[in-house]
Structure 1
Amino acid sequence: MSKRLELKFLNEENKTVTIALDQPVEPADPQLINQAMDEIISQNIFTTSGGDLVEKKGARIVERNVYEIML
């Protein structure tokens, strides 16, 4: 099983941009995530083909289970 934290933003073209971080700290702290996302926007450290990140859209933890099938 693997988990990742997905931070979702909107760029200048109003398109969704996702930044994914593997193995997030749990339990997730919404206040810290909110602050980190604000900092990412204010520092303008990521650019996309649709322009700068301008707004927070959301955040989520995604859990994935992988089961190998023996052939």
Structure 2
Amino acid sequence: MAKVLELEFITETGKAAKISVNDPIDPIDTVQVKAAMDNLIATGVFGSSGGALVSVDGARVVERNVTDYEVL
């Protein structure tokens, strides 16, 4: 099962932006996640087509199950 932590932001133009982190440490420490997101905003390391990241919108873990079938 693949897990991804999605960090959701609002940009300076009001658009949504997302940064995905593969295989996050479980359990999720929401205090650390919020601090990391605030740091990303403060340093301006990431941008988007909607401009700079200006605020935190949320965070979530997405789990995905994949089953491969051999078809001949």
Same fold by TM-score, threshold 0.5 exceeded?
A: yes
Q: Secondary structure at the match of 1:3?
A: strand
* 2:42 is equivalent to residue 39 of structure 1: no
Give the match for residue 20 of structure 1. Answer: 20
Q: Quick one: which amino acid aligns to residue 64 of structure 2?
A: R
Give the match for residue 6 of structure 1. Answer: 6
- Structure 1: unaligned runs, 5 residues or longer: none
Offset at 1:31?
A: 0.3
Q: TM-score, normalising length from structure 1?
A: 0.96
The percentage of aligned residue pairs carrying the same residue is: 42
Offset at 1:70?
A: 2.0
* 2:66 is equivalent to residue 56 of structure 1: no
How many equivalent pairs are there? 71
Offset at 1:32?
A: 0.2
- Structure 2: unaligned runs, 5 residues or longer: none
Aligned structure 1 segments of 4 or more residues deviating by more than 2 angstroms: none
Q: Secondary structure at the match of 2:14?
A: coil
Q: TM-score, normalising length from structure 2?
A: 0.95
Offset at 1:29?
A: 0.2
